[in-house]
């Protein structure tokens, strides 16, 4: 009785009747449309065939050709984690899930990060490489730190490939006063970077003269991988493998030294330096929202997290993240936005310090 109170049966009956009436009306509507379609086919058979053929072609193109000529975006992820990797052999046999950032293996120019690669075809690359080798060979015996990397590292020398950068003299003066004891620094250091280099390019440089037997600092500082990600469109996993391959190479060549892996820096193509926007107030920002640069920050975060986890599990490996130094927020004494933005004063183009 509790489960079937008085009136329950009649209420259930009326509900079922209502549902049946609704289903009947839908069925009748469908029948009317089908009848009209049959009549149209009988009256206009040729037109019906043409319409049917066009509909079939459109459906075929939508199903099979809609992604032709463009990459299908794959959400940033790492199919394999590398915290337990112990040697070059482990990296060499790694099964990378996909080489390209947007998915697949063919729609990018990602080099194999475990194989060294030079860039003699690029104007100025060889001359900068030879200069780096001379600097490495002439380094003092009591050197404390060697910075290895791409344009971020080369900027410490005041150069962009073979040309001076804006403010290069000021940058070089600051570096020398910080990393040369005879000029007031507390440690001795040198910067060996080349504009546009990837992890495979740095691997070549390490194995061909930039890390000579006479160069034995306490700390090797690596900042590399941005060009793999942005220019090569390499997947997060490929970038991580490339950076760890370099750390492993240095550890083998210089056992006992400390290897610092610096995390990749954030990027933005929004006019205010924001990492993302739910809406845009200008056509410039509308274009920026679609720009590939703004898709990079989630992969960058995934890469940095993996590098941090790796270093935490390996002695003599240190992870260093400077991203927070470049972040600020909009506001005044009355309001402070919670959204992080890249400070234009520290990153004028929101990509390079």
What's the Cα-to-Cα distance from 51 to each of 40, 41, 58, 109, 182, rounded to whole Å? 12, 11, 11, 43, 84
pLDDT mean over 317-326: 77
Q: Is the pLDDT of residue 220 over 60?
A: yes
Predicted pLDDT at 2 = 38
Predicted pLDDT at 254 = 95
Confidence bin at 90 (pLDDT 50/70/90): low
What's the Cα-to-Cα distance from 276 to each of 56, 236, 288, 323, rounded to whole Å? 40, 19, 9, 16
Output the CA angle 142-147-153, nearest 5 degrees.
145
Q: Is the pLDDT of residue 150 over 50?
A: yes
Predicted pLDDT at 74 = 46
Output the CA angle 333-337-342, nearest 5 degrees.
110
Q: Report d(CA 55, CA 47) in Å as an integer.
A: 12
What's the Cα-to-Cα distance from 152 to each of 10, 161, 251, rounded to whole Å? 79, 11, 22
Confidence bin at 149 (pLDDT 50/70/90): very high
Maximum average pLDDT range among 53-62, 104-113, 261-270: 104-113
pLDDT mean over 10-33: 61
Predicted pLDDT at 139 = 96
Q: Is the pLDDT of residue 26 over 90?
A: no
Predicted pLDDT at 317 = 93
pLDDT mean over 260-274: 70
Question: What's the Rg (C-alpha) of the chain?
Answer: 30
Helix or strand run (H / E) with residue 245: helix 236-253
Q: Report d(CA 100, CA 106) in Å as an integer.
A: 7
Confidence bin at 146 (pLDDT 50/70/90): very high
pLDDT mean over 243-271: 86
**Tens-digit pLDDT profile for residues 287-310:** 444 444 456 778 888 999 999 999
Output the CA angle 142-154-187, nearest 5 degrees.
25
Does 260 or 168 have the greater pLDDT score?
260
Q: Is the pLDDT of residue 70 over 70?
A: no
Helix or strand run (H / E) with residue 171: helix 168-179
Predicted pLDDT at 80 = 55
**Tens-digit pLDDT profile for residues 43-53:** 777 777 787 77
């Amino acid at each position: 009785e509790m489960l079937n109170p008085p009136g329950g049966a009649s209420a259930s009956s009326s509900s079922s009747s209502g549902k049946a009436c609704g289903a009947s009306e839908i069925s009748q509507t469908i029948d009317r449309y089908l009848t009209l379609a049959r009549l149209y086919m009988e009256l206009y058979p040729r037109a019906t065939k043409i319409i049917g053929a066009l509909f079939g072609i459109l459906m075929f193109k939508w199903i099979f050709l809609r992604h032709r000529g463009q990459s299908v975006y794959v959400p940033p992820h790492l199919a394999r984690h590398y915290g337990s990797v112990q040697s070059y052999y482990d990296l060499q046999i790694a099964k990378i899930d996909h080489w390209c950032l947007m998915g697949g293996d063919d729609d990018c120019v990602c080099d194999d990060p475990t194989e060294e690669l030079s860039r003699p075809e690029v104007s100025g690359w060889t001359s900068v490489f030879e200069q780096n080798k001379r600097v490495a060979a002439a380094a003092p015996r009591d050197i404390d730190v060697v910075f290895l990397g791409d344009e971020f590292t080369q900027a410490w020398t005041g150069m962009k490939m073979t040309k001076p950068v804006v403010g290069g003299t000021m940058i070089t003066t600051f570096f020398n006063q910080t990393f040369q004891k005879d000029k007031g620094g507390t440690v001795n250091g040198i910067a060996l970077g080349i504009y546009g280099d990837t992890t495979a390019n740095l691997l070549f440089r390490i194995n061909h003269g930039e890390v000579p037997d006479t160069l034995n600092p306490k700390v090797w500082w690596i900042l590399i991988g941005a060009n793999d990600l942005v220019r090569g469109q390499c997947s997060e996993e490929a970038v991580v493998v490339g950076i760890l391959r370099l750390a492993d190479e240095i550890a083998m060549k210089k056992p006992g030294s400390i290897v610092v892996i610096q995390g990749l820096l954030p990027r933005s193509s929004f006019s205010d330096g924001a990492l993302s926007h739910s809406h845009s107030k200008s056509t410039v920002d509308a274009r920026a929202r679609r720009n590939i640069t703004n898709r990079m920050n989630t992969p960058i975060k995934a890469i940095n997290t993996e590098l941090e986890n790796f270093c935490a599990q390996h002695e003599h490996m240190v992870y260093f993240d400077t991203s927070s130094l470049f972040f600020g927020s909009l506001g005044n004494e009355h309001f402070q936005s919670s959204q992080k933005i890249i400070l234009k004063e520290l990153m004028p183009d929101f990509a390079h310090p």
